[in-house]
Amino acid sequence: MSILPKFLLLNQQKNPAAPAIREKRLGIWHTLSWGQLADEVRVLAAALLLEGVRRGDHVALLGENRPRLFSAMAAVQWIGGVVVPLFTDTNAQEIASPIRSANIAYVFAENQEQVDKLLSLMPQCPSLRRVFYDDELGMRHYRQSQLLSYDALMAKGRSRIAEVGAQLDSELERGSGKDPAALFFTSGTTGPALGVVHTHEALIDRVQSAIKSEGLNSNDTSLAYLPPAWLAQHVFAYVLPMVSGSCVCCPESSETMLNDMREMGPTIFLAPPRVLEALLTQVSIRINNTGGIKRGIYDTCMAVARRVGARVLSGESVGAADRLMHSLSDSIIYGPLRDVLGLSRVRRAYCIGESIGPDLLLFYRSLGINLKQVYGSAEMGLFATLQAKDAGLSNSLGRPAPGLEVRLSPEGEVLFRGPGRFSGYHQDPESTRLRTDAEGWFHTGDVGWLNQQGELHLVGRKQDIGSLNNGGLFAPKLLENKLKFSIYINEAVVFGKDHDAVCAFVDIDSEAVGNWADKQGLSYTGFSDLVALKEVYRLVGEVITQANAEWANDPKLTHAQIHRFVLLPKRLEPDDGEVTRMRKVRREVIAQRFASLLQALYDGSAVGHLDAPVRYEDGSSGQVSATVMIGSARIFATPTLQKAA
């Protein structure tokens, strides 16, 4: 099969009545079969031809995961177009850049909110001439000639499909695996966003590799709940179901996602670290609100899980008593917990986006969820590495996926080569040349190491890693992941490169800390009051102190213990440019925006003063001003120093 729409037709031929997409609307699940989906896509492709969409055109998608979004992607690709998914929570000005860069003329928009953004951009984006909208709520009085509803577009296709039927068949046959299928804009963590072009061949290759290695099949069910503009979500929720013939489910909303996930029971699950951390926080808050016998049973069972759970999952030898206790705990704690998390049927779970700390990985594996870290990037596709089927306690990212090669540069940078790689950055040959050498190796920008089994371990981004003034290793991600395992910490940003000591900015989890503060009888009126409480500083200080105690016993990290910290008086937000739309930290932006607090951490001040710009949800701007306490954590002597003393 050369292009993705041909897999759609194959699924229609083999299993026309099998579910392709399920969507929850108004509390009811609706199913679209492969036969129905293929018929809709054909009509939609005809309508797009009638609208003037031609081979090579870029068509943007601005909406959440919905069946009509997937239909639009397949229809665009049927006639040789290139889909460009955009983040729905971006403001109008952020959308303008990719629209101009890709010369986008057509956009599928989900609702009135997205339509309003696009209408406001038309004067500065002359290429934009047609917007197809799905949800008609609030659109009754819109009369702009550039607008056309999805239903009207489909009606046009149905009534005139005979006019373009031969052209439809011709375009489908012309399709080649080397044709561009999709254009994704990078998150811009370390610089301006770049357009990453993937061909049909590249996307299909990575998915077929995963299907073969992981045993994925048409009986699987997955969940489409992450931003469609993220390559990993696109591969997981669109390409994988197309190629494998499996079913993808769209929850009603982000607020109902957990309940919806429990109802439909995915068998394969993809999540970035922030989602896994959020699920753990919800469970922990519920447990913290219980007491007495229930809390005692939970603590006892989780101690068993931490001791032998991952070993049981990977099939390792476990003593009879531990195995019996684990089986009993599974009945009364682990099983119900998996059900609460909506993961009771999951047989393959993957974490991608960033590496996660070993504590978080161990938590899920201890519950009997075979969570595996997957390494990939917008340029290398979703499955660049794969762990063994039974990963056990390994914290590696696994070996290169079939067909791929990996090696390290002299500086330790991870390099990949093989099928599934992007075809280049859109209209940016210089960036393509800088990241891809003459031998075909893609330079990831990540630093890592390979163990004796050839498994990849990541240390962090090349530009972030360095040394303290005392010569100790400074690898911020290793430290931050440890801190974020605490339910009280939403995000941590540590500094120390070319400094005498490590210090940290902490963005607290307001739900978990607020729940704790309420139980302590503390008074506060909002987020800024909560982070200013001395008791909250002590709480976070205890978390950091505990982490320092563990790092003291690690020869590589003992010099990286955190000395001082500050609780940020505002959340780190993508609208303020402090994190990306996928919630990846923009370290340099944060250092500049909170430069006064960073200086206070290192000059010995007892307090710091902050004046920083902030952007509100309505697009208006303001200023946040605050006097912020500086907290301190206990530093532990290393075992070597203790012996010397």
Return the pLDDT at 293.
86
Greater pLDDT, 393 or 550: 550
pLDDT digits (tens, 9 = 90+) for 589-634: 999 999 999 999 999 999 999 887 776 555 567 788 889 999 999 9
Of 384, 390, 399, 353, the closest CA to residue 372 belongs to: 390
d(CA 172, CA 470): 63
| pLDDT score, position 621 | 74
Helices 150-174 and 67-78: crossing angle, nearest 10°? 40
- From the number of C-beta atoms within 10 Å of its C-beta (0-12, 13-18, 19+), residue 191 rates as exposed
| Residue 377 bridge partners (DSSP) | 381
Most confident listed range (66-75, 201-210, 364-373, 411-420): 66-75
pLDDT, position 643? 43
Instruction: Tell me how far apart the alpha carbons of residues 364 and 371 are, in angstroms, rounded to a whole number.
Output: 6
pTM for this one?
Answer: 0.90
User: From the DSSP assignment, how many helices (H) and strands (E) are in the chain?
Assistant: 24, 29
- The position carrying tokens 């210090």 is 503
Give CA separation, 599 vs 537, 590, 593, 594, in Å.
19, 13, 12, 9
What local confidence, expressed as pLDDT, does residue 420 receive? 85
| Confidence tier at 642 by pLDDT (50, 70, 90) | very low
Helix (H) or strand (E) holding 461: strand 456-461
pLDDT of residue 196: 95
The most confident of the ranges 25-34, 85-94, 292-301, 457-466 is 25-34
Contact between residue 497 and residue 371 where contact means Cβ atoms under 8 Å apart: no
> Where does residue 368 rank: exposed (0-12), middle (13-18), buried (19+ CB within 10 A)?
buried
How far is residue 398's CA from residue 386's CA, in Å, rounded to a whole number? 5
Residue 10 has pLDDT above 50, yes or no: yes
Domains with residue ranges and CATH for the chain:
4-264 (3.40.50.12780), 280-373 (no CATH), 380-388+400-459 (2.30.38.10), 466-644 (3.30.300.30)
- pLDDT of 645: 37
**Triad 70, 74, 75: Cα angle to 5°:** 115
Predicted confidence (pLDDT) per residue in 252-277, tens digit: 998 899 899 999 999 999 999 999 99
Query: Measured between alpha carbons, how far is 616 from 606 in angstroms, rounded to an integer?
Result: 30
Lowest mean pLDDT among 9-23, 102-116, 410-424: 410-424
Collapse the DSSP code of 7 into the 3-class scheme (helix H, G, I; strand E, B; otherwise coil) and give the result: helix
State how far the alpha carbon of 468 is from the alpha carbons of 461, 462, 531, 561, in Å.
16, 15, 29, 11
pLDDT of residue 512: 95
Q: Which two tokens stand for residue 94?
A: 């952020």
pLDDT at 482 over 70: yes
CA atoms 29, 33, 34, 38: torsion sign: negative
Q: In this model, does residue 238 exceed pLDDT 80?
A: yes
Per-residue pLDDT at 119 exceeds 90: yes
pLDDT score, position 394: 65
Confidence (pLDDT) at 556: 86
**pLDDT tens by residue, 429-464:** 999 999 999 999 999 999 999 998 899 999 999 999
Phi-psi group of 577: left, alpha or beta (phi > 0 → left; psi -120 to 50 → alpha; rest → beta) = left
